[in-house]
A and B are shown apart, each in its own frame.
Chain A
Amino acid sequence: MIYNMAEKNNTAADLQELSDPGYCRGLAQRLHRMLDSEVSFMEVCGTHTMSIFGSGLRTLFPAGLHHVSGPGCPVCVTHASDISAFLELARTKGVTLASFGDMLRVPGPGGESLKSAQAEGASVRICYSPYEAVQLAESHPEQEVVFLGVGFETTAPAVAATLEMARSKDLGNFSLYSCHKLIPPALEALVANSGIQVDGFLLPGHVSTVIGTEPYRFLARDHGIPAVVAGFEPGDILQALLLLLSRIKSGDPDVDNQYTRAVKPQGNARAREVMYQVFEPRDALWRGLGTIPYSGLGLREEYAVWDAERRFTLSRTGGEDPPGCRCGEVLQGAIQPRDCPLFGRACTPASPVGPCMVSSEGSCAASYHYDLDIL
């Protein structure tokens, strides 16, 4: 019966129902009835974190259902040495750094951020899409425009398409600093190495529109942990949790797809094709998780001219996390934000120490903004 719910989120009327108070309460009541032991789940996407806190879902969960956030906030997992490189680039004469907004306040090793560099005179521009950065380069031929490519499989295809456009325009003053990362290798590292204790995963809806459901199969097959690809409405998350609970209870772990209105099992082959035409997997350094083999996307040799890492000499000094910051453990789900001694005291959204307090998708920021228990 539960498995049919995924069929029930496809039409506009269904979509409305997914945020309908009565419907959601009904689902929450079923969760309460179904849960007869302590269960913890991890959501791997910052947008899920936001939705769970922002919709007040957390206060509707049964007491035995524990929720931990994973490494699904792209800003948060960007390593301190990359932040250091961003700052170096921003301070390079003649360079305009184009970035998504969230990145601007993340403090680097010396506590400085792109925002503070901007105040000191560095040219940093907020972009809503990578295409804007290309337009910026076209309209400012005297400037070297470097775009900070931060994001997972969701963002990478659009950035790849943009780079392809820069190539077709033979744009000489545009380049990309790629911090793009891949979700499945991070999950693999998380369950294989860090020894986290979760009974199930809520898998990222947006990323899965590109990669489909197959790449997560190892979670159930090799580790016996069920996982559900979920949408972002409160009703989506509740449906996914019911699916997860039934898998846990029946002892029949598998990967299910609740978000059928957006995610196809095979994902989006065209988007992956564009992505892998420009990028190739390479080892990547994650905040909190260290180096994970083939978990990042670097530019292929044919695109070397547009690779900021090759165009500029960057020292990347100070790859250490700020003293006392426990973002790394938060990102692994090892501690809750409020367990960090800096949380809400030395580290607030106004003066963040770590990235999880900066990004609107960071779990510390979500907890600080929304959690009734923190004050």
Chain B
Amino acid sequence: MERGDDVSEERILLDHGSGGLASHRLISEVFFRYMGNEHLYGMDDAACVWTGPLTAVSTDTFTVDPLFFPGGDIGSLAVHGTVNDVAMLGARPRYITCGFLIEEGLPLRDLERIAASMARAAQEADVRVVAGDTKVVTRGAADKLFINTTGLGELLLDTPLSGAGAEEGDAVLVSGNLGDHGLAVFAAREGLSFQTPVRSDSACLNHMVAHLLQQVPEVRVLRDPTRGGLATTLNEIAGQSGRDIFLREADLPVDPEVRESCSFLGLDPLYLANEGKLICVVPRRWADEAQQVLREHEAGVNVACIGEVGGWSRGRVILETGIGGRRLLQMLEGEQLPRIC
């Protein structure tokens, strides 16, 4: 019998977080097995890494129900989320750390699957996992598993990108279809099935970003529209830059299946989370070039120019609807609740 097989029958116990032998076994048998490298093998209190003169840092804590969903899991999400946040500043993510908060009783094989998935995601993103931590809490004190990741990355630009950078006349691009992740997780949680299964778009965007920054010298804003969706992130950019953003509904890329399911459930894809999409604001003269570059990447095949930035104002997002009317597109308030029919 292989070692992995009897481990697969086990569940996480409080012992695994004690710092003693059980903890060491967990670290070597699960985390080192999948994510091990010279930084981790040292087993010292901290790792040392080289950073350039300016380093982008981002931290995020991930909780998702269910832990596994079509297109990803909490592990890949925890890597993609932080890698993408670092990349959005115009940086090349190099290192990540991860902290696991585990509820006692989590099947060990689930943790293994998640660790393996994190390792794959880190490899794809070309980042090293340089530090980690594990805590186990009693049943009910946490929901199965929370993961915190912190990412460090070298800035590829002289100054980091910011939502305040949008200027009048700039084009607003989005790298692909909206709402896939939010709907996929929602459907997995509620046990809904669609004719064509909807998959999360969870993916690392850093290679696409590096390529874009290489080809397009004047990128004004990069943002990934995660929680709160496109509508919320665009409102942030509009608010930070003090400008109205004008969107064309007809140009917003949404998969027909997602659109139809959302309509049925009373959800709006513009407010659903994306985990593998970016919003890019560029001067109009660079819009075509930027789209061409994004389209060369898997996460950017459905890139679309969806609107433009207006002059100084109160920072609203105004949607030109399909039939040519106009309305506000507000930030998400609370969580979206399905409606009464």
Contact = CB atoms under 8 A, between A and B. Distances in A.
Interface of A: 19-21, 24-25, 53-60, 74-75, 100-105, 126, 128, 150-151, 154-155, 206, 234, 348-350, 359-361, 368-372, 374-375
B339 interface: yes
B330 A369 contact: yes
A324 B341 CA distance: 29
B334 A24 contact: no
B326 A372 contact: yes
A58 B325 contact: yes
Contacts of B333: 348-350
B323 A371 contact: no
Contact of A151 (B250, B324, B328, B341): B341
Given A75-B340, A103-B340, A371 B327 contact: yes
B323 A360 contact: no
A55 B322 contact: yes
A21 B321 CA distance: 9
A372 B328 CA distance: 6
B155 interface: no
29 contacts: A20-B323, A21-B323, A21-B324, A24-B323, A24-B324, A54-B327, A55-B322, A55-B327, A56-B327, A57-B323, A60-B324, A74-B340, A75-B340, A100-B338, A100-B339, A101-B266, A102-B337, A105-B334, A155-B340, A155-B341, A234-B325, A349-B333, A350-B333, A350-B334, A359-B339, A360-B337, A368-B330, A369-B330, A374-B328
Interface string B308-341: 0000001010111111111110100110011111
B328 A369 contact: yes
B173 to A, nearest CB: 22
Given A100-B339, A350-B333, A372-B327, 6 more contacts: A55-B322, A56-B324, A100-B340, A361-B339, A369-B330, A372-B328
B334 A349 contact: yes
Q: Which of B314, B316, B322, B341 has the most CB of A within 10 A?
A: B341
A57 B338 CA distance: 24
A150 B324 CA distance: 35
A55 B325 contact: yes
B340 A57 contact: no
A238 B219 CA distance: 42
B265 interface: yes
A359 B266 CA distance: 11
Majority SS at the chain B contact face: loop
Given A24-B323, A56-B323, A348-B333, A126 B338 contact: yes
Closest 9 pairs between A and B when the two form their complex, measured CB to CB: A56-B325, A101-B337, A56-B321, A349-B333, A100-B340, A370-B327, A24-B323, A101-B338, A59-B325
A349 B331 CA distance: 11
B327 A128 contact: no
Contacts of B316: 375
Q: Which of B190, B266, B321, B322 has the most CB of A within 10 A?
A: B321
B30 to A, nearest CB: 34
B190 to A, nearest CB: 8
B339 A60 contact: no
A104 B266 CA distance: 15
B271 to A, nearest CB: 11
A151 B327 contact: no
A375 B314 contact: yes
Contacts of A155: 340-341
A105 B321 CA distance: 28
B340 A102 contact: yes
A25 B324 contact: yes
Contacts of B339: 100-102, 359-361
A126 B326 contact: no
A57 B325 contact: yes
A274 to B, nearest CB: 16
B188 to A, nearest CB: 15
A159 to B, nearest CB: 11
Given A54-B327, A371-B327, A372-B327, A105 B322 contact: no
B327 A360 contact: no
Contacts of B265: 128
Contact of B326 (A59, A102, A151, A368): A59
